Structure 1
Amino acid sequence: MAERKLLAGHAIRRLRRGAGLTQAAMADMLAISPSYLNLVERNQRPISATLLIKLAESFDFDPRSLAAGEPGGGADAIRRRLADPMFADLEIDRNEVEEWLASAPGGAAAFARVFDRIGGGAVVEAGDDPVTLVRREIERWRNHFADLDAAAEALADELRLGAGDLYGAIAERLRAKHGLTIRVLPADVLPDTLRRLDLHARQLQLSEMLDPASRTFAVAFQLGQI
């Protein structure tokens, strides 16, 4: 699998401006050329591992903040919003979106915030049930949520899911980060539910009626709600 390039010029520009530096001054601190820094800030060049190390050494900077800080969730998330039918006649391509993010990240973030607040072009009809509304929303976004995917990938990396024990990894996350243990109880103890969060006992209680796959889904669902 090809290594994904890290384009986060907005974050570098924000870091530089926060430090009160010109491009020339920051480039000098990082021992790179001003022209290269300019290309990085405009997302015309990816951020190399060497540059990440220099940034971490020279500034109060956590490299993990790059992905989380993309305006509007990044280019893919902005394009997902622009896929709404109300923008169909504009034919905005990825290059234009990336240029927008590079030149005016605040404007892109504002667009995303307003679009999400008003619900885009979604139309709610009287009598629509929740399942229909959710299905329509998924179809409207073409079943692709780039910002959610990125967050899930980051969590998967933290949980080190390469070993394949998803249930065990999530259970450990709930225990270590949220102080919750998992307890499987007889069906007569949980007669009306298959999953219950008992905050007093700091337990996520699961019914014995759940099969292994359903137990994994239940703990993942609970982790997503915290």
Structure 2
Amino acid sequence: MEPSELTNIGSKIRKVRRSKGLSQSELSKNLGISASYLNLLESGRRKITVPLLIKIGNELGISLKDLTLESNKRILSDVMEVLSNELFEDLDITNHETTEFISSNPNIAKAMLTLNDSYKSLREDMQNRLEVMEVESSIKERKSTRLPVEIVSDFLQENKNYFDNIERKAESIRNKIYFEEGHRTIGHSLIQYLLNEHNTKTKVVSTEEDEKSIKKFDENNKILFLSEMLTYSARNFHLAYQIAYFDAHEIINRIIEDNKIYSEEVISLLKISLLNYFAAALLMPYDV
């Protein structure tokens, strides 16, 4: 029996005992048990065996059915709730049939309630799983329809357009380069850094030599070509971008890996954005 059932039966015994004017000592003596044990039975803190329950019924002049009626009421209510499900509409089960079934088969009724609880739990779990799958599918679908440029833009916004490790790397390189005021001297410092640190020469080309390209990097010969049409400020930015290409690629690759970005198109655009970010961080506040 469940603890709540024991309490109901125990309180029923106490109620009938008192109505007949019997003390715990008197009834316990007739039952052949101690008064303290009877007190535990009446308070629902000890299990009541069927032989003792029959004996108590005989002493108090009540049937076993009367003693267990209260505990069966809760089971009846629960079973009625289960049978009200539309699954059982065609069976036309009456309240009388249900009451008789519980009275004669209380353990089977409890088993049915346990099975129903398991079914409800399984159904709720499946519903939760389906909802999670639907949400994940919606997110994936939404992500798959976004353009690479939108994904990069969202990524930059999510990080509030600030990357501390890039900032610190740019600052460490800036400390190596001696910047003097003026666009010309800044450009000269950047050119010297590329030559000294990365063995890369910088060459300014005229429109006669190359009228199409503003910037071109010859990786095999380590030469950076910049158009003479560029302003000093724009030229300095391209120089800083080239430094970023050499010095920031490991940090940028780590950011991409840590954020689990796999699309080649997104990676390409994001690398350009972060290289630009590094170049700006390197020049600030000197070249504004």
Provide the TM-score with structure 1 as the length reference: 0.41
Relative to its length, the structure with more helix (as a share) is 2
Provide the TM-score with structure 2 as the length reference: 0.33
Which structure is larger by alpha-carbon Rg, 1 or 2?
A: 2
